[in-house]
Amino acid sequence: MTKNQVTPWEVKGNVDYEKLIEEFGIKPMEKLPEVFMKDHFFRRGIIFAQRDFGKIVEAIKKKKKIVMMTGLMPTGKFHLGHVIVAKQMIFYQKLGAKIYIAVADLEAYNARQINLKELRKNAIEQYLMNYAALGLDLKKCDIYFQSARSRDAKKSNAYYTLASNFSRYSTFNEFKAVYGEITPGKMNASLLQAADMFHAQLPEFEGKCEVFIPVGVDQDPHIRLARGMSQKMKDYEFSQIASTYHFFLPGLKNGKMSSSDQMSYIALTDSPKEVETKIKKYAFSGGRDTLEEHKKHGGNPDIDVSFQYLKFLFEPDDKKLDEIEKKYRNGEMTTGELKKITIDKINAFLKEHQKKRELAKKQIEKFLSKP
Amino acid sequence: MTKNQVTPWEVKGNVDYEKLIEEFGIKPMEKLPEVFMKDHFFRRGIIFAQRDFGKIVEAIKKKKKIVMMTGLMPTGKFHLGHVIVAKQMIFYQKLGAKIYIAVADLEAYNARQINLKELRKNAIEQYLMNYAALGLDLKKCDIYFQSARSRDAKKSNAYYTLASNFSRYSTFNEFKAVYGEITPGKMNASLLQAADMFHAQLPEFEGKCEVFIPVGVDQDPHIRLARGMSQKMKDYEFSQIASTYHFFLPGLKNGKMSSSDQMSYIALTDSPKEVETKIKKYAFSGGRDTLEEHKKHGGNPDIDVSFQYLKFLFEPDDKKLDEIEKKYRNGEMTTGELKKITIDKINAFLKEHQKKRELAKKQIEKFLSKP
C-alpha cells in the first residue's frame, strides 16, 4: 500500500484538507529518516502534513534537545481517537524528546460547568492512566495542570506572566478568526494555550529549543494564532514552534469521534461486549446493501470504519492490511468478516490494556504537581 | 471648617460626583468612630463616600482580620497625588489592617512599551521607597508584582487561577462599559485586577475576610466590574469587597495630576527650587487679577491649588487652615503670601522626606518577592 492510496479526507467530508494546505502554508510531509518509516502513522500517511518539521528532524539527527508539546481537555472518556496522539508521545519519547503535557483544566473550567477538582480527577483517571498503560513513561514527562503549573514558584510565575504578556500582541479580530464567537473565557483560554506552546523555551524551563506539536488538522488555527503572537514578541527569544498534522480516527458513525456522543466512540474502558455491539451495530460500513452485490462489486475500505480502525491502530503489518483491503475491495471478504477481525483485534488490545491500566493506577499520583 | 464647606467637585469639572453617587450606589460616609476623625482626610471630607464600608468599621471595632488592598501602576514619578493613598495605607496599617500592594507590572506591560525589568526598577525606586519614607512598615505588608505573585508556588498558582476563572463570569459588554475601547491586553489586565482585589480571601492567603480598597472615585468602575464577576462565582467563598472614595489632589494647573505631564505635579524627589518655581509659575490661583481687586473682593480658596494642597496634605491643624481660608477669602492674604506658605510647607516636608527616602533605599529590596 503506497502512502497516498487512501485519502481519508473523503472519509471525513466536513474538512477540506487540501484547502487548508493551500491557504495556510501547511506542507506535505517531506522525506523522513528510516526511524520514522518504522512507524505506521508516517508510513501510511496518517500523519500527512507539517509546518517547520524539518528542523525537528534535524534536531533529532543531531541529538539536540527537543520538546514535544501536547494538551488534553480533561473532560469525557479516553477513547480510541485519543490514542493517535498518545502513540505519538510514546514514539517521540523513545526518540529522546521531552514530552510536555498540559492538562487544560482552566480552559475546561471556563468552557463547561465543571469544577477544578472533578476536572483533575478525570484527567488522571481517564487520560494519564491510559497514557501510562499505553507505554508512556510519565516520570520523564513534564505533566501539569494549567491551574498549577509547577511546585516551583519561579516556573509558575514565568508561565502565567507569559500568558498575560501574549495579550499585548493580539487583537480581537485574530481571536475571532479562530473562535468565531469570542468570549472573555475563550480569549483567556487562548492566551494560556499560547503559553502552553511556548513556555518550554523560557529560561525557567528548558531554555530556547525546538518545540513541536502534533495535532489534528482542525487544531491548526490555534497554532497559527500562537505563532503570530510570538512573532511580535521581541523581548522573548523563541524558536518558532513546529507542528505535524494527522487525520482523525473516524467515529463509529463516520463523523467525528466525540466524547460527548457515546455512540461515536470506543472508550479504552469498554467491555468486550460493548465493543462487539458498537462495531456490529454502529460502525459505518463500506459494504454493499446485499451479500450478492458485495460479492459482485466489492466493498469500499476507504469509507469503512472497521477497516480504518485496522489501518490507524490495530493492524501494524502492512502486508496483512493490504490483503484485507484487497479482499474487501474485490468482494471476497464480507462486512461481517471484516467487523469480526476488527472486534477481535480491539478486544485483544483492550484486554491487555486494561490490565496495564490497573497497574498504572497506583503509580500515577506522585508524578503530578499537586495543586 | 465643617465637612462639606468645600465641595471640590467644582474644582474638577470633568467628574460629576453627585451623578456617580446617585447612579452607582456609592454612599456618603456614615458616622465614623473617633479614631477616624483624628485623620483629616475623614474630618475634612476628602474621603467622602463608600461602599459597604460599615462592615470594615465593625471589623476594626471587633479587632477582626481586615485587608486593605491597593495597587500601583509602576510608571512615572511618585508625586503628591500618590501621597493620598499612601497616607491611607499608613493610617489603616496602624489600625491593624494587613496591607496588600499589587504592583501592576503586567497591566503596565500590556498598556505601554516598557519591559518588566524597567517597570520593576521604577516600582521600587519611585513607589515603594516613598511609601517606606512616608512611614509605611513594608515588612508588615504583602507587596507583590503581578508578574511574580509569590515565592510560594501554591500561592502563585491560586492567584493566577483565580484571574483565569474570573473570565468565565464576565462578558465583553461588561468590559466595554468600563474601558470603552476594549483590547485583549485591557481585558487581561482587568481579570488580573479582579484577582488582585479578591485573592486575599483564598485559603492559600488570608482565608475569607473583609477586604477594602480606598480609591479615587474614577476607579469605581473597576470595583463594580470585579464585584459583579465575584457574585456569579459560586465555587469561591468571598465576602464582598468594600471601598472608600476620595477626591483627587488637583494638579498644578487644576486639571488632573498626571505622571505623564511634568508641569502638572510635584514629585517627591523635586528640589526646593523646582517646588518654588512650579507653585509660583504654574499653581492655579483663586486670587483676583489685581492686588486691588483681591483686597476688595477676596480670593477663592475652593479653586486655589495652593490652598487645596494645604488642605489635603500640608496643614493638618484645622484652626490654622481655617484662618488661612478666612484671610484669603476676605482678601487679607494675597496669592503670593498663600503660595509662600505652601512652598515653605512643601519644602519642609520634602527635606525631611528625602532624608528618609535615602534611609529606606537600602532596606527595601529584601521585602519583595523576587521574580
Query: What is the β-pairing status of strands B47-51 and B242-246?
Result: antiparallel
Residue ranges, CATH 1.10.240.10, chain A = 262-356
What pLDDT score does B365 carry?
66
Is residue A88 within 8 A of residue A36, CB to CB? The reply is no
Q: Which range has the worst mean pLDDT, A43-52, A174-183, B59-68, B296-305?
A: A174-183
**Is the pTM of the predicted complex or chain greater than 0.90?**
yes
- Rounded to 10 degrees, the C-alpha dihedral B269/B271/B274/B280 comes to 110
Average pLDDT over residues B291-295: 95
Residues of B whose CB is below 8 A from A187: 167, 184, 187
Is the model's pLDDT at B110 over the cut of 60?
Answer: yes
- CATH fold of the domain at A17-253: Rossmann fold (3.40.50)
Phi, psi of B72 (to 5 degrees): -135, 145
Q: What is the C-alpha to C-alpha distance for residues A192 and A104, in angstroms, rounded to an integer?
A: 9
What pLDDT score does B10 carry?
34
Cell digits of residue A117: 477538582
Is residue A162 within 8 A of residue A120, CB to CB? The reply is no
What pLDDT score does B271 carry?
97
Residue ranges, CATH 1.10.240.10, chain B = 262-355
- Rounded to 10 degrees, the C-alpha dihedral B219/B313/B48/B238 comes to 50
Q: Residue A26, SS3? A: coil
B184 to A191: CB separation less than 8 angstroms, yes or no: yes
Q: Of B282, B285, B288, which is closest to residue B262 (Cα–Cα)?
A: B282
A window 291-330, beta carbon within 8 A of B: none
Average pLDDT over residues B17-24: 72
Tally of CA atoms within 13 A in the half-sphere of B215 that contains its CB: 20
Is the model's pLDDT at B301 over the cut of 80?
Answer: yes
One-letter amino acid of B130: N
Q: Residue A10, SS3? A: coil
Nearest CB partner across the interface for A184, out of B172, B189, B371: B172
Q: What is the C-alpha to C-alpha distance for residues A215 and A20, in angstroms, rounded to an integer?
A: 14
Q: How far lies A199's CA from each of A204, A208, A210, A239, in Å?
A: 9, 9, 12, 11
Q: Which range has the worst mean pLDDT, A172-176, B6-10, B34-38, B113-117?
A: B6-10
A:B CB pairs within 8 Å: 111
Write the CB contacts of B225 (distance below 8 Å, at least 6 apart in sequence).
B170, B174, B175, B177, B178, B190, B194
Q: What is the C-alpha to C-alpha distance for residues A344 and A338, in angstroms, rounded to an integer?
A: 10
Q: Of A147, A146, A194, A187, which is closest to residue A166 (Cα–Cα)?
A: A194
Phi, psi of B47 (to 5 degrees): -90, 110
Residues of B whose CB is below 8 A from A147: 157, 161, 164
Is the model's pLDDT at B217 over the cut of 70?
Answer: yes
C-alpha distance from A235 to closest chain B C-alpha (Å): 8
Query: For chain A, which residues score pLDDT lower than 70?
Result: 1-17, 20, 365-371
Helix axes A17-24, A220-232, angle to 10 degrees: 10
The ipTM estimated for the assembled molecules is 0.91
From B151, which residue of chain A is nearest by alpha-carbon distance?
A153
A148 to B153: CB separation less than 8 angstroms, yes or no: yes
Cell digits of residue A211: 518545540
B109 to A165: CB separation less than 8 angstroms, yes or no: yes
Superfamily classification of domain B262-355:
Tyrosyl-Transfer RNA Synthetase (1.10.240.10)
A window 158-187, beta carbon within 8 A of B: 160-161, 164-165, 167-168, 170-172, 175, 182-185, 187
Q: How far lies A196's CA from each of A70, A72, A123, in Å?
A: 8, 11, 17
Q: What is the C-alpha to C-alpha distance for residues B270 and A355, in angstroms, rounded to an integer?
A: 75
A114 touches B at CB < 8 Å: no
Average pLDDT over residues B276-305: 95
Give the strand order in the sheet containing B27-28.
Answer: B27-28, B47-51, B242-246, B210-216, B66-72, B98-103, B142-145
What pLDDT score does A2 carry?
29
A171 to B148: CB separation less than 8 angstroms, yes or no: no
Helix axes B153-166, A153-166, angle to 10 degrees: 20
C-alpha distance from B231 to closest chain A C-alpha (Å): 16
What pLDDT score does B15 carry?
57
Residue B261 vs residue A371, higher pLDDT? B261
Q: What is the C-alpha to C-alpha distance for residues A46 and A3, in angstroms, rounded to an integer?
A: 9
- Provide the pLDDT confidence category of residue B256 given band limits of 50, 70 and 90: confident
Is the model's pLDDT at B96 over the cut of 60?
Answer: yes
- Structural element, H or E, at residue B277: helix B272-277
From B162, which residue of chain A is nearest by alpha-carbon distance?
A147
What pLDDT score does A6 carry?
26
Total residues found in chain B within this entry: 371
A171 to B165: CB separation less than 8 angstroms, yes or no: no
CATH of domain A262-356: 1.10.240.10
A157 to B175: CB separation less than 8 angstroms, yes or no: no
C-alpha distance from A71 to closest chain B C-alpha (Å): 17
